Structure 1
Amino acid sequence: MRKWKRVDTAEGPRFRSALAPHEAALLKNMVSSVQGMLDEREAATPSDPLEQITGIRAGNPQPPEDSTMRRLLPDFFKPQRDHPAGSAVAESLNGALRSLHEPTIIDAKKAAAQRVLDTLPDGGGRFEITEGDANAWIAAINDVRLALGAMLAIGPEGPDRLPADHPLAGHLDVYQWLTVLQEYLVLGLMGKPIR
């Protein structure tokens, strides 16, 4: 991957880069996978009688069971174990907020993913995206990084390196590549030079 080059035009900034064929194919596969996981979560939402009456979409009030989806759709409130009411209050609030906001959150994540897929060069090569596309790329790449991070258990104590013979070593390399891809695009959006 080449660094992003910001070009200011009369229509606003544009961002140019190039991807090798294998990079474009990998990114397409990962973004499509996250999009598919979001589709499955949306399809698993139980029917809501209030939605049928009002037409207002409701999300699944239950948190995702899968750790990857929990990373993509985290709780709104952290359970407070030392609270007199226990964690029941936080669970109730999380369920209500999921019902209200999860459809919109999923729509935004899927729209960002689709925008990446629409602007990604087939077979790699040079390409140029708008500022709106760049924001979608940042969001979608972040979702892919969250999904990979859940699989790799990346966190404050998570691995920086894995032995070359570790079965997930290649996945960590991809995670780090995505981090650089995203960071350079953020710097380009901010108008900061990329070193």
Structure 2
Amino acid sequence: MPGTFEPLPGGGAAVALDDVEISIIRSLAVQLLELIGPGPAEDAPDDPLAELFAEGPSEPPADPVLRRLFPDAYSDPEGTPGPQQAEEERAHSAEFRRYTENDLRAGKRDNALAVIRSLDGLASAAGEGGAVLKLSPAEAQQWLSALNDLRLAIGSRLEITDDDDTDLLYRLPDEDPRKPMVMAYLWLGGLQETLIATLLT
């Protein structure tokens, strides 16, 4: 089971992680949290209706990683749109973003926090060399979403846009400064694949 998720009786998933793997995933999840940003301020009103209709940003984030995590909702899949169509797409995307990005950020924040909390609980119970992480079905879904976000973030930093880029990663020389990030990207991809397979069984 090392490095691969396996199903648990009654649902959920389990994976054996060593101390280094626990530390890497936790560190990446913390960095993702910092990138996504804090939640609502403590002095925010407690009115859930007001929070539901609170407006978010209308412009795409400046950071390319955040643009990957929170892409525009409207774009022309066939290629470059004409000027009028492009303007309409920008207006629709801005409107959609204004009313959805806050919720998307909250969901991604919750998923990253779930990963950190489960790893913190695992680390406190782990013996020498690591432990077996056991996730409920709901926790497994949060992990799946967080692993996807981590890979999107790392892939954006590595400027991966398609499968051909991924193939090139396998051929990077060991002295390439991107190599550690590439290894993390590929390893997280393996974890994600086995978790998907486990949840589909």
Match of 2:198 in 1: 188
Number of the residue aligned with 2:132: 126
What code does the residue aligned with 1:117 have? I
1:167 aligns with 2:196: no
Question: Where in structure 2 are the equivalents of 1:46-195 lying within 5 Å?
Answer: 54-55=50-51, 56-78=53-75, 81-83=80-82, 85-120=84-119, 121-122=122-123, 124-156=130-162, 157-158=164-165, 159-161=168-170, 162-191=172-201
Quick one: distance in 1 between partners of 2:15 and 2:8? 11
Cα 1:84–1:154 change in 2 (3 A) is closer
Q: How does 1:3-14 map to 2 (within 5 A)?
A: 3-9=4-10, 13-14=11-12
Deviation string 1:54-95 (CA, Å, 9 cap, x unpaired) is: 552211111011111111111101157433514111111111
Match of 1:21 among 14, 19, 30: 19
Q: 1:174 to 1:84 in 2, by over 3 A?
A: closer
Gap regions ≥5 residues in structure 1: 44-52
The correspondence of residues 26-45 of structure 1 with structure 2, limited to 5 A, is 26-39=24-37
Deviation at 1:8, TM superposition (A): 2.1
State the shift of 1:146 in Å. Answer: 0.3
- Which amino acid in the other structure matches residue 155 of structure 2? G
Residues 79-124 of structure 1: per-residue CA shift (max 9 Å, x gap) = 5743351411111111111100001111111111111111122264
Deviation at 1:170, TM superposition (A): 1.3
Identity value in percent: 24
- Give the unaligned 5+ runs of structure 2: 41-48
Q: Distance in 1 between matches of 2:169 and 2:25?
A: 21
C-alpha distance in 1 between matches for 2:101 and 2:111? 15
The separation in 2 between residues aligned to 1:32 and 1:119, in whole angstroms, is: 13
Q: Structure 1 residues 147-156 or 120-129, which shifts more?
A: 120-129
Deviation at 1:154, TM superposition (A): 1.1
Aligned residues: 178
TM-score, normalised to structure 2, is: 0.82
Instruction: Output the CA distance in 1 between the equivalents of 2:54 and 2:146.
Output: 23
Paired amino acid for 2:181:
H
TM-score by length of 1: 0.84
State the superposition RMSD in angstroms: 2.0
